[in-house]
Structure 1
Amino acid sequence: MFDVATLVLFISTSIILIIIPGPDLVFTITQGMTNGRRAGITTAMGLSLGNIVHTLAAALGLSLIIKTSVVAFTIFKSLGAIYLFYLAFKAIKHRKELININSPKNNDSKGLFLRGLLMNILNPKVAIFYLTFLPQFVNYKSANVPLQMCILGLIFIILTAIVFSLLGYFSGIFRDRLLKKPRFSEYMNITAAVIFIGLGVKLITTKI
């Protein structure tokens, strides 16, 4: 279903995208810093599990697009590529902006988990990202495209849970990186822009 090269590329790209400073990562770090390591890990679990909804939606959506027509798929990948180029533009434009990492106290583990879960599920940007990111690593010559999407989504969820949990646990280290070394965030955003451009080109050249 997947060759080794595709899986290695998917996993390495996923890890880089996961650690790029964004709302979810910053929220995880702030909870770890202000409310303790347990709070950071709990938040990470909520944010990670929210991706299950997006994985299933992306798998169903891609399946319907492919079944509709080649024209529909062409429109889909063109719009998806434009969105990825837009993300690259934003990453470059805002690469030097300082990150606000302040957070109010909140020691309710259940509340943090649910907040993280809802933050992810209700974020339309995450849904669009899933629908543009996962399809690029699908083998369209093989059967069970939705199953492939679900497997890729599961891998991404596991990676997110591991990375975010580590960030939540060692939040002090990453907080210093983000605040005391602003160029770290700048470099990560530039890296993100390069990846988004690459993904956009890859998506627009994908054939079924």
Structure 2
Amino acid sequence: MVSTAAVLGVFAVALAMVLTPGPNMVYLVSRSISQGRSAGLVSLGGVALGLVVYVIATNLGLAAVFAAVPTLYLVIKIVGACYLLWLAVSAVRGTTKVFEVEGLHRDSNRRLFTMGLFTNLLNPKMAIMYISVIPQFVDPAAGSVFLQGIALGGVQIGVAVTVNALIVVGAGSIARFLALRPTWMRMQRYVMGTVLGLLAVRLATDGSRPAPA
């Protein structure tokens, strides 16, 4: 039902976006460095739940909205492309200092989980990912819009949780490594910026139409 090209496309977008500093990464890294790996993993559980909420909520209404307002698909396409381009520029500029964390007070596991959840739910990167970017990979001839959206959302969740878990586990080591090798951070920014920029062009020039309900 979901093509290999669509899965690879969502995988590439998800990987580029999860490696681009944002609210989720900042929160997870800060907790991992200041309170330990277990705290970072508990926080990641909240982030993961937020991703599931986004997938279900956006896909429940996606087909109906696109069927009622076909022009909205084009608007969403443009917004998604512009947002990816903005992320590309932000990545290259490197204004967010993710691994430079000041001391934070210790929180309970319940608070860590809750803060991870709300940090993700209030993250505009995730909102646009599910509302504007993933729908671009839905194939009009491949069947149910809802099931395709759930499947592709699952790909994104798998990438996001896996990469963030690796970042949480290695946050301290990564911080020390980058502090001693600033050239690596610059390289990472340029690579991610290039990937996001190319994806923005791809979305802006794609001529596909929204899938029917």
TM-score computed with the length of structure 2 as normaliser:
0.83
2:134 is aligned to 134
**Which residue identity is paired with 1:118?**
F
Q: Which runs of 5+ in 1 are unaligned?
A: none
Provide the C-alpha distance between the structure 1 equivalents of 2:115 and 2:58, rounded to a whole number of angstroms.
Answer: 22
Instruction: Output one character per residue of 1:124-154: Cα deviation in whole Å (capped at 9) or x when no partner.
Output: 3320232222123221222211221111112
2:118 is aligned to 118
Provide the C-alpha distance between the structure 1 equivalents of 2:13 and 2:148, rounded to a whole number of angstroms.
Answer: 17
Provide the C-alpha distance between the structure 1 equivalents of 2:85 and 2:12, rounded to a whole number of angstroms.
Answer: 20
Structure 1 position 96, deviation (Å)? 6.0
SS of the residue corresponding to residue 142 of structure 2 reads: coil
**Which residue identity is paired with 1:45?**
G
**Which residue identity is paired with 2:134?**
L
CA RMSD of aligned residues (A): 2.3
Shifted more, 28-37 versus 2-11: the winner is: 2-11
Q: Is the 8 A contact 1:98 1:182 kept in 2?
A: no
Provide the C-alpha distance between the structure 2 equivalents of 1:12 and 1:75, rounded to a whole number of angstroms.
Answer: 22
1:104 is aligned to 104
Structure 1 position 206, deviation (Å)? 3.8
Structure 1 position 69, deviation (Å)? 4.1
SS of the residue corresponding to residue 50 of structure 1 reads: helix
SS of the residue corresponding to residue 183 of structure 1 reads: helix
Q: Percent identity?
A: 27
Size of the alignment, in residue pairs? 207
2:208 is aligned to 207
Q: Is the 8 A contact 1:29 1:174 kept in 2?
A: no
Instruction: Output one character per residue of 1:8-29: Cα deviation in whole Å (capped at 9) or x when no partner.
Output: 3432442343233333223212
Q: Is the 8 A contact 2:85 2:196 kept in 1?
A: yes
Provide the C-alpha distance between the structure 2 equivalents of 1:151 and 1:71, rounded to a whole number of angstroms.
Answer: 25
Provide the C-alpha distance between the structure 2 equivalents of 1:155 and 1:97, rounded to a whole number of angstroms.
Answer: 26
Structural mapping, 1:180-195, within 5 Å: 180-195=180-195
Aligned CA distance change for structure 1 residues 124 and 98 (closer, same or farther; 3 Å): closer
Runs of 4+ in 1 over 4 A off after TM superposition: none
Instruction: Output one character per residue of 1:152-177: Cα deviation in whole Å (capped at 9) or x when no partner.
Output: 11222232222222221222122224
Q: Which runs of 5+ in 2 are unaligned?
A: none
Q: Is the 8 A contact 1:132 1:203 kept in 2?
A: no
2:78 is aligned to 78
Q: Is the 8 A contact 1:133 1:199 kept in 2?
A: no
Aligned CA distance change for structure 1 residues 31 and 202 (closer, same or farther; 3 Å): same
**Which residue identity is paired with 2:208?**
K
